[in-house]
């Protein structure tokens, strides 16, 4: 990794820690510069504006978040275990120290009405998650409409966990997802063999 890439990673690490903990609007470029240990001139060479840095932060956060989710869920041995595993992974995430909810929901709440960068990044992230869930639903032979319902349960669990400070909404979402999935598979002969465990 060359020096520029190393500095870019350091700046993004600092930005992610600060933005996630405190929000996009309250953290300035000077604080990010100090935390990353780079000069302000170098920071602006890497990211010509705060908007550029926010875009890069959200893009990287999206890639890391979805990769971690897929790594956990896709490791389940059967298709029927993968939808409940989404909520098991959410429970682990909600239990992490410093969990503040979904970075995209938080960013959209702050700037979604005024920043096209934030609105687009949030919509892209949420649609990618919905497509991932749709793939899990298709793999068990359940109706496609179930994907939106499962994704909505997960999104609600994220928000509720952040507000309540408890990981339990993941367990509640898992139970509701299992109920919906079992009902869908009961009505779908193709999915009968893929019932969740």
Q: What is the mean pLDDT of residues 32-51?
A: 96
Question: Cα separation of 111 and 118, whole Å?
Answer: 7
Q: pLDDT of 47-79, one tens digit each? A: 999 999 999 999 999 999 999 999 999 999 999
Is the separation of the CB atoms in 66 and 154 below 8 Å?
no
pTM exceeds cut of 0.85:
yes
What is the distance, to the nearest Å, from the Cα of residue 186 to the centroid of all Cα atoms in its chain? 30
Question: Cα separation of 70 and 143, whole Å?
Answer: 21
Element spanning 142, H or E: none
Q: pLDDT of 175-191, one tens digit each? A: 999 999 999 988 765 54
The first and second tokens of residue 138, run together, are 């298709």
Q: pLDDT of 106-158, one tens digit each? A: 999 999 999 999 999 999 999 999 999 999 999 999 999 999 999 999 999 99
Where residue 3 falls among pLDDT bands split at 50, 70, 90?
A: confident
Is the separation of the CB atoms in 83 and 137 below 8 Å?
yes
């Amino acid at each position: 990794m060359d020096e520029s890439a190393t500095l870019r990673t350091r700046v993004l690490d600092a930005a992610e820690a600060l933005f996630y903990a405190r929000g996009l609007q309250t953290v300035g470029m000077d604080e990010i510069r100090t935390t990353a240990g780079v000069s302000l001139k170098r920071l602006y060479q890497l990211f010509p504006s705060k908007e550029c840095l926010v875009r890069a932060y959200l893009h990287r956060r999206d890639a890391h978040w979805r990769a971690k989710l897929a790594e956990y869920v896709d490791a389940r041995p059967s298709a029927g275990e993968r939808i409940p595993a989404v909520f098991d992974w959410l429970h682990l995430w909600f239990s992490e120290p410093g969990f503040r909810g979904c970075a995209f929901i938080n960013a959209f709440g702050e700037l979604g009405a005024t920043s096209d960068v934030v609105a687009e990044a949030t919509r892209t992230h949420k649609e990618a998650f919905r497509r991932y869930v749709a793939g899990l639903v298709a793999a068990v032979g359940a109706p496609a409409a179930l994907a939106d319902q499962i994704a909505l349960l997960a999104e609600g669990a994220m928000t509720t966990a952040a507000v309540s400070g408890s990981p339990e909404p993941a367990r509640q979402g898992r139970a509701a997802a299992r109920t919906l999935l079992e009902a869908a598979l009961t009505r779908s002969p193709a999915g009968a063999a893929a019932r969740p465990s």
